[in-house]
Structure 1
Amino acid sequence: MKLVKTLANLGYGSRKQVANLFREGRITDAAGEVLYADDSVAHADVRVDGEPLDPPQPLTLLLHKPLGVTCSTRDPGRVVYDLLPPRFRLRAPLLSTVGRLDRDTSGLLLLTDDGALLHRIVSPKSKLAKTYEATLAQELRGDEAAVFASGTLLLESETTPLAPAKLEVVDARHARLVLTEGRYHQARRMFAAVGNHVEALHRSRVGGLTLGDLAPGQWRALDAHDLDTLFSQS
């Protein structure tokens, strides 16, 4: 792929704008030598204004989503793309969130421009486990784990029972919930179905991936090992 198209797809501007970067001598190699649009150079050796290129495609990110941020490209408030380099909004193909966390839910969020990977993650056939830490308004009554594991729980306005889910009691008002499907606001609606209310919700794990030491608002690109870990379910 020509360098002009590569840089445009990475969000550095339209092809015309990227061509101007070349004319202005702002595209160089690692040694500082000016590059031209038809040069053939390894991605890792290209610099824009002295800085390495953004990660190539396909790109998958792990983001620690803070509270108050929306999984959307457009919203009156803050959106997850505000936490990323501005160019990431302009990448082609689009860097999309893998599922969503609502504004009032924090934690592990994946974004990718790899359509096949996105489909694999969200497909019901994958049964990829997602772990949530819930803080509840009322104390647990004691039978929630059995109800959630039964495979018979119906959410309001739905006709298909939920798949069995695992509940671990942390203390009287805190629980860890592991889901293998992703219905709308599922964790909150499950606790509502047993007469409780979720005051705070945090996703701590997807498959075998955790947030590690990422602080709220921080992100990192995933490599092949991370993707293997994602599907390890460990």
Structure 2
Amino acid sequence: MLVAFNKPYGVLCQFTDRSIPARPTLAGFGLPPGVYPAGRLDHDSEGLLLLTDDGGLAHRLTDPRHKQPKTYQVQVEGEPREEQLQALRRGVVLNDGPTRPAQVRRLDPAPEFWPRDPPVRYRKTVPDAWLEITLGEGRNRQVRRMTAAVGLPTLRLVRVAIGGWRLDALGEAGQPWLAPGQWRQLL
């Protein structure tokens, strides 16, 4: 079984949390029994998460040798300059080594996502922009660290695709996206 889930902001990519107070987890969304995340999304990131009950499929989805590209739409603080975008495309050096080159493009107009709770802070004097970044690797908080390394801190991060599965192709009729907290069985 393979399930696509639109992970809301503030939800952990696990089914239990021993923190006090406990934080929201995947257990609160009525997912099918026996499925587990194939990969992760940070607590403060949103979007497409694939879950499966098939260990072999989970391995194929997450192992870097299988190169499942992951696409993110990222709201960044600042007005991106071409040299910043080129640095992301070439790969940047992070504290755990250089990243592989990424596909990066500016999104104009900005994507129309669901409202986030809490909303992204808005500052009249500081511009922001949206980028689409596709990676062939997946390190801890990689997109956020990459944008910060080129001087464009991430304000909001939404994963919109993993391989050929796209969040914008999974919505109900009249819905451009699978709604946050909703899931759909794919296989």
Counterpart Cα distance in 2 of 1:162 and 1:137? 21
- Aligned equivalents of 2:96 and 2:25: distance in 1? 30
* Counterpart for residue 101 of structure 1: 41
* TM alignment of 1:179-190, pairs within 5 A: 179-190=135-146
Name the residue aligned to 1:13: none
Percent of paired sites with the same residue: 39
Aligned to 2:111: none
2:107 paired residue among 165, 170, 192: 170
Q: What count of residue pairs does the alignment treat as equivalent? A: 156
Q: 2:77 aligns with which of 116, 120, 137?
A: 137
2:53 alignment partner, one of 108, 113, 118: 113
Map 1:146-161 to 2 at 5 A.
146-151=86-91, 153-155=92-94, 157-159=95-97, 161=98
User: Secondary structure of 1:143's partner?
Assistant: helix
Partner of 1:79: 25
Structure 2 Cα separation of the partners of residues 67 and 208 of structure 1 = 23
Structure number with the higher strand fraction is 2
**Separation in 1, partners of 2:23, 2:96:** 31
Deviation at 1:103, TM superposition (A): 1.4
CA apart distance, 1:154? 1.1
Shift of 1:144: 2.6
**Partner of 1:69 in structure 2?**
11
Superposition TM-score, scaled by structure 1 size: 0.63
2:182 equivalent to 1:218? yes
Q: Aligned partners of 2:106, 2:142: CA distance in 1, in Å? A: 18
Amino acid at match of 2:99: L
CA RMSD of aligned residues (A): 1.5
Q: Distance in 2 between matches of 1:198 and 1:149?
A: 17
Gaps of 5+ in 1: 1-58, 224-234
Larger Cα-atom Rg: 1
Partner of 2:151: 195
CA contact under 8 A between 1:145 and 1:166: conserved in structure 2? no
Matching residue's letter, 1:84: G
Between Structure 1 and Structure 2, the one with more helix by share is: 1
Q: Deviation of residue 162 (structure 1)?
A: 1.0
Task: Decide whether the 8 Å contact of 1:144 with 1:167 is kept in 2.
Answer: no
